[in-house]
């Protein structure tokens, strides 16, 4: 297929999704979005992007299947344990000085990292004076996150991650068995607010002391990445902490000179201007 024609088809598909369903993928990385679209085209047994567009616009079930491809939830408890260890050792002492802590976890997926942070705050005696706002574009992922359900076959790896992240208790203290899976205990979820938020189209909704957005902006083009960095900057309190993914940075963004590097290895930055 002609590459230029395919780009036109893809542009029309993404524009149609935005107008029909309100999900805006128009500024996502083209290479990433193209792979996911063709994955769905093959599964649906279709010949090209235009045929997928027709199906998506006329059949909401096809759109839901495509949406699942476009917002693939990739997460795990204590992913990159060293970052959580740094959070515990270096960030928690600063949070102790605050009367109340507001944390925004943007792009929380199915909630594993959110629950990891809640356990960390509980162990450090900070959960009662904290509120975690966990947001994502994917409503199905948010429902899983709200329920606190985690597949039991992942718990062995998650236990290792927890220990590497500085956890000092028995990890099994934090969950109960539930129909072949496990469920994070209710008292750990009491100060988490799960809500749908679209980083592309929605604005800030509070002032935060910590914002985590890890491995989300790697799927954005430069324009959208810069837009989201402005949103985070405007949402952070003075000396607030921004944490991004291991392959992400604030370098070469309009906000780069407004932060100091708090921990470069773990991509932790502090707002200074």
Q: What is the pTM of this model?
A: 0.86
Local structure of residue 100 (DSSP, 8 states): S
Delineate the domains of the chain, giving CATH numbers in brackets.
3-70 (no CATH), 81-271 (3.40.50.150)
pLDDT of residue 177: 87
Q: Which residues contact 46 (CB under 8 A, 6 or more apart)?
A: 52, 55
User: What band does 258 get if pLDDT is binned at 50, 70 and 90?
Assistant: very high
SS3 at position 180: coil
What kind and span of H or E run contains 8? helix 3-21
User: What band does 140 get if pLDDT is binned at 50, 70 and 90?
Assistant: confident
What kind and span of H or E run contains 43? helix 30-44
pLDDT of residue 75: 87
pLDDT of residue 1: 57
pLDDT digits (tens, 9 = 90+) for 50-98: 999 999 999 999 999 999 899 876 789 999 999 999 999 999 999 999 9
User: What band does 180 get if pLDDT is binned at 50, 70 and 90?
Assistant: confident
User: What band does 231 get if pLDDT is binned at 50, 70 and 90?
Assistant: very high
Cα four-point dihedral sign 240, 217, 74, 265 = negative
Which of 200, 249, 254, 248 has the alpha carbon at shortest distance from 228?
200
């Amino acid at each position: 297929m002609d590459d230029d024609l395919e780009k036109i088809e893809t542009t029309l598909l993404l524009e149609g999704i935005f107008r029909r369903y309100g999900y805006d993928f128009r500024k996502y990385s083209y290479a990433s979005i193209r792979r996911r679209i063709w994955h769905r085209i093959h599964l649906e047994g279709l010949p090209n992007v235009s045929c997928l567009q027709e199906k998506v616009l006329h059949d909401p079930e096809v759109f839901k299947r495509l949406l699942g491809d476009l917002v693939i939830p990739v997460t795990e408890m204590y992913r990159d344990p060293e970052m959580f260890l740094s959070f515990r050792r270096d960030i928690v002492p600063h949070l102790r000085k605050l009367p109340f802590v507001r944390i925004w976890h943007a792009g929380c997926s199915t909630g594993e990292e959110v629950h990891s942070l809640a356990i960390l705050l509980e162990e450090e005696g900070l959960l009662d004076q904290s509120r975690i706002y966990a947001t994502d574009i994917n409503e199905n992922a948010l429902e899983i996150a709200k329920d606190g359900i985690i597949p039991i076959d992942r718990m062995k790896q998650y236990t290792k991650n927890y220990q590497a992240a500085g956890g000092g208790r028995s990890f099994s203290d934090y969950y109960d068995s539930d129909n072949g899976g496990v469920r994070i205990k209710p008292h750990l979820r009491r100060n988490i607010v799960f809500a749908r938020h679209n980083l592309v189209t929605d604005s800030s909704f509070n002032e935060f002391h910590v914002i985590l957005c890890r491995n989300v902006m790697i799927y954005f083009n430069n324009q959208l990445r810069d837009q989201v960095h402005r949103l985070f900057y405007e949402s952070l309190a003075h000396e607030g902490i921004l944490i991004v993914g291991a392959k992400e940075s604030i370098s070469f963004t309009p906000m780069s000179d407004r932060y100091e590097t708090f921990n470069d290895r773990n991509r932790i930055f502090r707002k200074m201007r």
